[in-house]
Amino acid sequence: MSQLDFRIMFQSGGSRIGKLRTAHGEFSTPVFMPVGTQATVKSLLPQDVWDTGSQIILCNAYHLFLRPGPDIVRAAGGLHKFMDWPGSILTDSGGFQIMSLGHFVSISDQEAVFRSHIDGSLVRFSPEDSVQVQAALGADIIMCLDHLTQWPVSYDLAAEAMNRTLLWARRAKQVEIAPHRSLFGIVQGSVYPELRKQCALELAALDFPGYAVGGLSVGESKQKFYDILHYTCEFLPVDKPRYLMGVGHPVDLVEGVMAGIDMFDCVLPTRNARHGRAFTFAGPLNLKNARHATEFSPIEEGCDCRACKSFSRAYIRHLFSAKESLAWTLVSIHNIRFFQRLMDRIRQSVFDGTLKQLRRQMEMLYPI
């Protein structure tokens, strides 16, 4: 039985404030997880990430399965030692990456078969393989392999993928893992309410330690995304953590919490940083713009991140102009810290009953 401990400390409407404990520590929810796809959050040392207030990160089983391989990571003592990360780790099963391979992948009820994007070798990946790989990597939270669909998708194809996701979840549940690791089921069903309801209820009957909502924000309208998210959460157990996969726009984070989501991940903070785009509570900044060449103020006044305490916009703009990789590092630190500060504000807004006002503020600053 999973030793994951999740406690709801406060609830207002559908929004919850909680505490989630894994073998590598306890953290508050709702929580934002920076993405360290290949056992690294791009351009940052683990201590940099930890200093932003991040206590759990996401790594990807698909990429680490192909390179360096789970045997090497296990021999190193698991991901925590391999990458020197002190906090919790969640590993994504690879369903999104397999979907993104398009016609290079063949999916059946038995397994996914595809060519490695690294060397072209033939790879077979079953739901059992996915759990075993993630366990070998040493993740605290493991995700079931799911069949994610592209958008748009017909009802029939969405139903086929949803039924396969359920079949794979049942098989994944039979794989024995250590009690300090926890396996989450993933709800699929695209934008079709009856499929989402069926998937959520059947997964709930399997009694996973936690549940994820996958397959959203893949091209459907924002309103459809929000409607399906709220609807799906109605059928998930109230006493288990809920994770919205791959979503990180500031408005989406607030909307997700309003729907009852407890966990989020996204590459948005670091991906935007590499293009010079910074998040602030006064709106976005493009630090490559010439106007910042003589701006000796920090990225954001009042921000307590390492970048803002020590460096100016002018310096960071110079780094981008000179193509120095330190630019990526500094803006990534700031952006991840922004997201953690935003989660702090979201949790406080749940307590204060001001979440709707915060959502309006974020939508003004970051239109959807």
What does DSSP say about strands 210-213 and 263-266: parallel, antiparallel, or unpaired? Answer: unpaired
* 227 flagged as catalytic: no
Task: Report the b/e string of 271-293 with b at 16+ CB within 10 A.
Answer: ebbbebbbbbbeeebebeeeebe
Give me the catalytic one of 84, 129, 265, 344: 265
Give me the catalytic one of 48, 92, 129, 146: 92
Q: Which of 1, 53, 25, 33 is nearest to 344 (CA)?
A: 53
The tokens describing 252, both together, are 């989406």
Q: Which of 23, 24, 97, 33 is nearest to 261 (CA)?
A: 33
Query: CB under 8 Å, gap of 24 or more: what pairs does 356-359 form?
Result: 356/258, 358/254, 359/251, 359/254, 359/255, 359/258
* 92 flagged as catalytic: yes
Catalytic residue positions, numbered:
92, 265
